[in-house]
Amino acid sequence: MDIGGLAVIGSPSTCDSAVLNLSSRSYHLALLGSMLAFTIVFDNGSEEMALGTVTKVETINPVHTANAREAMHVATNGAIEHQSGDSGDTRAVTIKVEAVFRNWDGKWRKHAAVLSNSPATGTPVALLDQQTADELMADTDQPAYIGTLRGSSVRIPFTLPDFSGPRGSRHLAVLGATGSGKSVCFEYVLASQLRWPGMGQIILDPQGQWATEHGLPFSLQGLATACGRTVFVARLSQSLRLRKDAPLFLRLLEESKWFRNLAFGAGADENVAQARDMLHAALQDKKALKAACGTDDWTESAPEAVMTYLLDSLHGILPAGTIYAGTEQQNRVARTIYRPTSDSEGEPIAEHILDRLPPGALDPSGHQKFQQLLAVFSALHSLWSPYSPTGAMKIAAGADPESLGATDRRRDAWGLMRQVMAPKAGQPAPWLVLDLSADLSQLNLDGNDADTTGDVMAATRLLDSAEVKARIMSQLLNTLKLAGQQQFTAGGSLNVQVVVDEAWQYAGPADSTQPDALVSLSNQFAGDCRDVRKFGIGFAFILQSATGLRDDIWRQLAVLLVGYGLHDQSDIKRMAGRVSDSHLALYRAAPPPEATGRYTWMCVGGAVTGLSFGANPVFLESVTDPMAWLNWNDAWITRIRREFSQHLPAGDTGGRLTHLPSRPGYDDPAMEVHARRRAVVDGRASATGVASVADALAGRPQRRDRNSLAHNTTSTWTNRQDDDPPPF
């Protein structure tokens, strides 16, 4: 280490902080936030090297104080010759000790977050350079690099481990205002985690950014594939099939106001609950279901057939009084299904009066009402269908279901998650991106939404709602947790990180004004954060503020990556419980990235970097050039590619990467259209209100006679490997 005459230890100094006397040659160096180093030697010949961040720089000159004898002269002339400026000033620099390394047998090893004794005054202090940093952290296991120390070009290894060790997993949060580079920074973090072959990733992607990779500096999916990974991008709107769950389906129907369109009143929650129970029983009645729909599996029948069966069942049970006790309320709901032919006294209604009554959904002339109900029903039913919207359209046009290819079929959510949780021997764990975003492939983007069919718009608005996404996330998390429990009981653990983008909406503080689905999911996240670490499942929450997470989740976080923009007093107060005031002051002093082009991150938590000892944060400037990142991480990328060369894409012969690969091609034509349109929408910043699932309703056939709906509406999911139910 080149001492360079930067400074010496001053007084008072302690084991965890030091005051430095800056040499006059260093007065004009940019020091705030810099990492400095000094060494102390003990009687037994051992030595410790302390690294500390400059948290304060102070100019001291007695003649320039307000009560100095020369104060009036300074006030009149502004300075005193030979006593003002560098000739009379001293600089006092305060550093907070972040990490201490001890030299054992000629090798530096991590030792503690504080010195074993306070340093002597006059001890030389220098700026940390790359050579010294590499020497101190030479024993780092599989180092990766995502940035440099704040204000310098010194690279520090990113050392966050996977979840395969005895400690289990850890939860983290990526925080920062819009424009702070959250997604970009975390993309480099995820890319660096590719060096852990056994660690799988499941990304819950409400806006579709990770699926389309729009706005990211390079293709993470392309890099993962070039490292031998299988990357699944499953879109709720096209390719993801939820685990069979009739209660969830009926709950989503309720939250979509489907029952409201059947004349259930606004305050009829208990009546709707009774109706849900009745419809659930109808879906479990396999004999009746098969007679009406041609199959005993409601997920494999056409949605119009299932809805007709359920409406018939509802109409038949209404007179029993289990849903509504009053005849008037029973008749109100019944009229939306079939137009009445007799009055309350049982007398036939005159023909001229009957003609003026609106038809019910199942009446021969009730096409409009039926289609109104079907728009919502089919959009939700499609989430459990074996077929993608394009596949459903082909079947409706007369195609044999057995002739459909993979792109016309949905992939079972459990099957995909199972591959991430239990990778095949000799293969790295796959990555799974669950795209819950709006499907733009069916929408016009010329500013005229009136050109888009009403059914498509209804479906998109419904399935883009946070409530629907919350219910679906809940099912996926339940499946993951049960799998983790099963593995733990068998004496093992998983090694899976679950990334939750836009976490403020789904893991935020519970609010009585929120929909039940969001409150329930927030509670579920809080419970899972406590329970799943020992299973080897860790959460990574991405959001804009510290207060966007509920308190019991915040307390479970082991790692914080904090970008620019958390200046609200409530955020500062919450972070003050994790880092010292001096570090918070240093964080707040960072300039906005748009002004400097530098993205400063405060990394809080042990084992995040090679300098992360205890609670002391490390300030990094995130890399902004993808090629620089590739060059820094060449060693482990080349090793991984060599180890899994047999799993690389066709035509990739392995060896050193000279450029970052492009995104793998879309195997779903609708996804390609969706991705192009997502780029247009994001560029216009006008994605609000666009839906997550645009079912191809405009291409569905018109309603047939209900007596013929049982024919040609069934199918069999041919890939049973992916459709097997979870073993719990």
Q: Residue 623: is its pLDDT beyond 80?
A: yes
Listed by start position, the domains of the chain span 7-139, 171-233+419-588+625-684, 246-387
What is the rounded distance in angstroms from the CA atom of residue 149 to the CA atom of residue 151?
A: 6
Looking at residue 144, its pLDDT comes to 95
Percentage of the chain surpassing pLDDT 90? 58
Q: Which distant-in-sequence residues (6+ apart) come within 8 Å of 252 by Cβ?
A: 380, 468, 471
- Element (H or E) spanning 293, and its range? helix 286-293
Residue 177 has pLDDT above 60, yes or no: yes
Average pLDDT, the chain: 86
Q: CB 639: neighbour CB atoms within 10 A? A: 13
> Is pLDDT of 705 > 70?
no
Do 17 and 95 contact (CB within 8 A), yes or no? Answer: yes
Question: What count of residues does the chain have?
Answer: 728
Mean pLDDT value across residues 511-525: 92
The upper half-sphere exposure of residue 160, i.e. CA atoms within 13 Å in the direction of its Cβ, equals 26
Element (H, E) at 640: helix 634-643
Count the alpha carbons within 13 Å of 478 in the hemisphere toward its beta carbon. 16
Q: Global pTM? A: 0.84
Q: How confident is the model at residue 727 (pLDDT cuts 50, 70, 90)?
A: low
The pLDDT-based confidence of 421 (bands split at 50, 70, 90) is very high
455 vs 142, more confident? 142
CA–CA separation, 502 vs 686, rounded Å? 17
Quickly tell me which residue has 């329930």 as its tokens. 520
Task: Band the pLDDT of 717: cuts 50, 70, 90.
Answer: very low
Residue 668 pLDDT class (50, 70, 90 cuts): low
The answer to whether 88 and 80 have CB atoms below 8 angstroms apart is yes
Instruction: Characterize 96-112 residue by residue with b for buried, 16 or more Cβ atoms within 10 angstroms of its Cβ, and e for exposed.
Output: bbbbbbbbeeeebebbb
**171-233+419-588+625-684: what CATH class?**
alpha beta
- Dist. CA 458–CA 376, nearest whole Å: 7
Alpha-carbon gap, residue 14 to 114, rounded angstroms = 9
